[in-house]
Amino acid sequence: MLNGQGSATRALLLVQPPQRGLLNGLANGLVDIGNFVARGEPSSSVTILDWAVTPVADLPVQARSALHGNRYSPIVGITTTSADYQAALAVAKTFKAVAPDCMVVLGGHHASPERAVVLRHHRDIVDAVVQGEGERALLALVRGASPREVPGVAVIDGGRVHANASGPLIRAQELDEMPVDFNGCVLHSAAGKFDHATYVSARGCPLRCAFCAVAAQPIRAKSVPRVIEDLRYLVVERGYRKIAIEDNFFAQSRSRALALCECIAKLKKDIGIEFSWDCQTRVESMRSPEVIKAFERAGCDGVYLGVESLIEEELTYLGKTPRPARYIEVVGKVVRALLDTRIGCYVNIQVALPAEDDERRQRRLARLGALGNLAARRGRSVTVFPQLSVIYPGTAHFVTAVAQADFGPHSPEVFEPFTEWEAEQEPILRFVGENFAHGVGGIPVGMLDPQRLRHGGFEVEADTVGRLKGHLARFEELDGIQLFKYGTHLASDGKGRRTQRQIT
């Protein structure tokens, strides 16, 4: 099919790779990319392939079915996290075996910072890697542009990695133009995580947490009227009654948060349908009693606070705040204020950090216990969402670890052998997947033998795992504290629980 310039557009297949053992839920960024490309190039054919619950053994059959009827060699865009990186490579290998002339493009949180490593190791199955947001780059490729000339794209050229400078970020006005669904795709993942439909109202985060790859980016937010229009659609047209707003830093703008809450409350009255919503945000954004009361009036049923730690040294290591003692004080005030409302209080806490010892674990328990006592006195509870402290690519922690050669001979390319090794460690995957968010795929330096790691080996310290299990058990013994269980929210491999939804 021809585009406006008279050249042939290429079909675009956007793939979510198998997610066995990981949290069930669609990678919603694929919907945004699909809509952006379809809007920018109406002559293109764009398909989202949700293979989250597809067994790896079934990939060839699924790939042949997806390729059927494509006249031009398609572009296959595969999203990656460190947790599903090996599955993404299996998808790339499958498409190259079935259709050698297709262009395989990897993107997402893993491939983006690891673009040079990915291309050097997998040039036979990966043609290009997109750095950062994928919308503009994939639109240009669909229109027939050479990967070597597209901003944000890296390729192998003349035997060497050639990485183009990044292009402009998606603007707030462009976010307003993106629908929340993609027409005509059957998606097998849950609409979101934890029985909520995921909705993203803004991108970016201006802060610089050392453990996070999304740092120092300007926040670009959808307009309040567009957010309300989207929520109306999700509730009235799609029938969802629980919405999870998963911005990186919701309520960063106090004025926008207050305006949104006022409009959400009005929306509920207008449509006559009761629905609830929750959000994830920083502790600092909830310091205002006015914001918390506005959340309650608008029917917010839970706030996920990215607390990360209640220990001063750990907060410094995590790059969370320059004033750890003051931060811990603010955590207590915000938790107390939330407990005085009907809003659920949820906190993320990282465990198994480097240098963690019995003294730090006791401090963590004591301070969690203090928060639990605040809840218990009110007949409430604080729900703790445990996170395993890991190192991901593209983070300040990874840069430091490489500079210190913490991963020995593998240091700059450690995720290649590590993710391959981890994929074969079924007991570890099951333990991490059932007990933590954001654990699989990252390097759990607090759980691995540091000497073996420095010499290029990976070995979990059994004593450390035992202490970790015991530490989590102590969380559950604290009055007013509930420990969230991830196990019931994991994606199956097609043989177990399977959730399907139609995107229309």
Q: Quick one: pLDDT at residue 174?
A: 96
Coil/strand/helix, residue 231 = helix
Provide the mean pLDDT of the chain: 90
Helices 415-422 and 115-122: crossing angle in degrees, nearest 10, is 70
Domain 190-489, CATH number (from 3.10.310.10, 3.80.30.20, 3.40.50.300, 1.10.3720.10): 3.80.30.20
pLDDT tens for 129-167 read 999 999 999 999 999 999 999 999 999 999 999 999 999
Give the list of residues 6+ apart from residue 15 with CB closer than 8 angstroms, or none: 48, 49, 51, 76, 77, 78, 79, 88, 91
- Count CB-CB contacts under 10 A for residue 208: 11
Write down the pTM of the prediction.
0.92
CB-CB contact of 196 with 278 (8 Å)? yes
Closest to 59 measured CA to CA, from 18, 22, 105: 18
pLDDT tens for 265-323 read 999 999 999 999 999 999 999 999 999 999 999 999 999 999 999 999 999 999 999 99
Query: Percent of the chain having pLDDT more than 90?
Result: 78
Q: Is the pLDDT of residue 109 over 80?
A: yes
Distance CA 371, CA 114 (A): 39
Question: Residues 72-95: what's their mean pLDDT?
Answer: 95
Q: Quick one: pLDDT at residue 191?
A: 62
DSSP 222: -
Query: In this predicted structure, which of 126-140, 373-387, 474-488 has the lowest mean pLDDT?
Result: 474-488
Helices 358-376 and 462-477: crossing angle in degrees, nearest 10, is 20
Domain 12-171 classified CATH 3.40.50.2300?
yes
Which residue is it, tokens 């920083």?
Answer: 282
Helices 415-422 and 85-98: crossing angle in degrees, nearest 10, is 90
Q: Is the pLDDT of residue 485 over 80?
A: yes
Coil/strand/helix, residue 224 = helix
Q: Quick one: pLDDT at residue 98?
A: 94
Ordered by start, the domain boundaries in the chain are 12-171, 190-489
- Strand pairing of 103-108 and 128-130? parallel
pLDDT tens for 49-67 read 999 889 999 999 999 999 9
Question: In 319-456, where do the E strands start and end?
Answer: 344-351, 382-388
Question: Residues 64-73: what's their mean pLDDT?
Answer: 80
Split at pLDDT 50, 70, 90, the class of 438 is: confident
Coil/strand/helix, residue 108 = strand
The first and second tokens of residue 373, run together, are 């006592």
The first and second tokens of residue 280, run together, are 């994830």
- Strand pairing of 382-388 and 344-351? parallel
Coil/strand/helix, residue 329 = helix
The first and second tokens of residue 284, run together, are 């600092």
Distance CA 149, CA 163 (A): 9
CB-CB contact of 346 with 302 (8 Å)? yes
Q: Quick one: pLDDT at residue 182?
A: 72
The first and second tokens of residue 53, run together, are 């619950």
